[in-house]
Amino acid sequence: MKKIVILACLTAITHLAQAQTGYNINITLKPYKNSYVYLGYHYGKMKALADSVLLDENSKGTFKGKQPLPGGIYFVVSPRKEILFELLIDKQQQFTITADSVGLPNSVVFSGSPDNAAFQHYTRFANTTGMALNEANKEYKTARNATDSAAITARIKSLSDKMQRHRDSLTQKQPNAILSALLLAMKEPVVPPAAKHPKGKYDSTYAFNYFKSHFWDDVSFTDERLIRTPFFESKLVKYYKDLVSPNPDSITREVDHMLLYSRSNKEMYKYLLVHFVQKYVNPEYMGQDAVFVHLFEKYINNGQADFFTEQYKEFMTKRAYSLMANLIGQPAANLQMVDTLDKPLPLYNVKSDMVVICFWDPTCSHCKEVVPKVDSIYNAKWKKEGVTVYGVMVDGGKELWKQFIHEKGLKNWLHVYQLPSQHDAEASAGKASYRQLYDVYQTPILYLLDKDKRIVAKKLNYQQLDEVINLKLKTAKSN
């Protein structure tokens, strides 16, 4: 049994617009008496509660409500917050469950629910076949010779084929059942054998493209029941991680395609948009924040996401406007700064093949560690490669800043800061500050610009920035 943290019911999830018949699920769950049990559901990787009931002296109770429950995979939770067993909920929401915590899941009996009878039968078959597959895989790892390995491989294939035939049989017999929809959605494409590849031999590019183009064949992006399963989000993550090019343009095309197809189902559309926003507002890879900006401009800022709270919309708006000005490949905003003698030294006055902007604070402990390392690699490598370091003092005070520069011997940087009067003038005029234009809300932060002041890289550590510089220099030489 799996321990879970019970979450509050999600008020943001809208029930299906069905007839007002509601749900009525009678449950007898021994040996629990005079204690609450819960009906929970999956929502992507999250688990939440749909209902609770106080069992009586006879271990009986009823989950009931005036509105139908959205379809999906649900589960019953014990008074100790443990998942006891899963069940399916779809159109038929008037049925009975009898179970004993001893002997689960085999002790569960469903009455009046063909969906759950089929689900239970499939689960038992899958568990038995799965155990046999696990055992065969263990034997394969310890096989003594090629003959044994071949025999075990044949057994593994036979068991896998048996599992797939069983699934295919269920989906063919009951194509409209919820179990069929779930089984089809879990299925992955089978790449044709090498003999059927172009020129009759294995082609890795063909195999990849075939797998990708058929990955969603049996998935309907208007079937919101898939949202309430433990596997749909994993399938979504796998697709974007393994099959979609990580560049923002490729991701954006895929995201728009999915959102377009899901528009006729509000819950699926909402789920997908929220998933993509959360994934790309703070992306794993540099430059993918452009996907979030695209989502903001096309959907959120155009009134196509009314399900977000005003507070979250405000957060996304601030993030989007902080990112719009510093997307990879775009011209960097000019920095109207002065040097240590308060003489003007704007960014765009710097003539250099490449410029590293280092936003830092002499009182920041991490800056104290990183800035000298940036200076070391600059003096050892970057300076002779045509790189200029434009160091921007963000906080800490002018005297501490100058003291740190002197103590650490940061002689060859262009050291600048913003005059307080310049800051006040921008604020009075309602202009975006350099903090917003460069998304500087922590320090240190490093940017790399090319000779035309276009952003090449951002928010990398100095070792990663060095790799980008090396790659750029190598590319320039090859051209």
Residue 11 has pLDDT above 50, yes or no: no
Full 3-state SS string of 309-348: CHHHHHHHHHHHHHHHCCCCCCECCCCCCECCCCCECCHH
Residue 137 has pLDDT above 70, yes or no: yes
pLDDT of residue 443: 94
**Contact criterion met (CB below 8 Å) for 44 and 275:** yes
Residue 18 has pLDDT above 80, yes or no: no
Residue 109 has pLDDT above 60, yes or no: yes
pLDDT of residue 445: 96
Q: What is the pLDDT of residues 434-468, one digit of tens each?
A: 999 999 989 999 999 999 999 999 999 999 999 99
What CA–CA distance (Å, rounded) separates 330 from 324? Answer: 9
Residue 16 has pLDDT above 80, yes or no: no
244 band by pLDDT with thresholds 50, 70 and 90: very high
2 band by pLDDT with thresholds 50, 70 and 90: very low
pLDDT of residue 106: 86
474 band by pLDDT with thresholds 50, 70 and 90: confident
Which of 6-10, 203-207, 214-218 is the least confident region? 6-10
Q: What is the pLDDT of residues 392-402, one digit of tens each?
A: 999 988 999 99
The per-residue b/e assignment along 244-257, b for 16 or more CB within 10 angstroms, e otherwise, is: eeeebeebbebbee
What CA–CA distance (Å, rounded) separates 123 from 185? Answer: 16
Q: What is the pLDDT of residues 59-85, one digit of tens each?
A: 999 999 999 999 999 999 999 999 999
pLDDT of residue 1: 46
State the average pLDDT over residues 26-35: 96
pLDDT of residue 64: 96
State the average pLDDT over residues 175-195: 93
The per-residue b/e assignment along 419-458, b for 16 or more CB within 10 angstroms, e otherwise, is: eeeeeeebeeeeeeebebbbbbeebbbbbbbbeebebbbb
Residue 36 has pLDDT above 80, yes or no: yes
Return the structure tokens found at 41: 């559901």
pLDDT of residue 103: 87
9 band by pLDDT with thresholds 50, 70 and 90: very low
328 band by pLDDT with thresholds 50, 70 and 90: very high
pLDDT of residue 84: 96
pLDDT of residue 320: 94
Residue 21 has pLDDT above 90, yes or no: no
Residue 8 has pLDDT above 70, yes or no: no
272 band by pLDDT with thresholds 50, 70 and 90: very high
Selecting from 1.10.3470.10, 3.40.190.100, 3.40.30.10, 3.40.50.410, what CATH number does the domain 347-478 have? 3.40.30.10
Q: Which fold has domain 2-119?
A: Immunoglobulin-like (2.60.40)
Per the prediction, the chain carries an average pLDDT of 92
201 band by pLDDT with thresholds 50, 70 and 90: very high
Q: Which of 436, 231, 426 is nearest to 333 (CA)?
A: 436
State the average pLDDT over residues 409-416: 94
Residue 193 has pLDDT above 50, yes or no: yes
In this prediction, what percent of the chain has a pLDDT beyond 90?
83
Which of 17-21, 45-49, 363-367 is the least confident region? 17-21
Domains of the chain, by residue range, sit at: 2-119, 194-324, 347-478
From the number of C-beta atoms within 10 Å of its C-beta (0-12, 13-18, 19+), residue 398 rates as middle
pLDDT of residue 333: 95
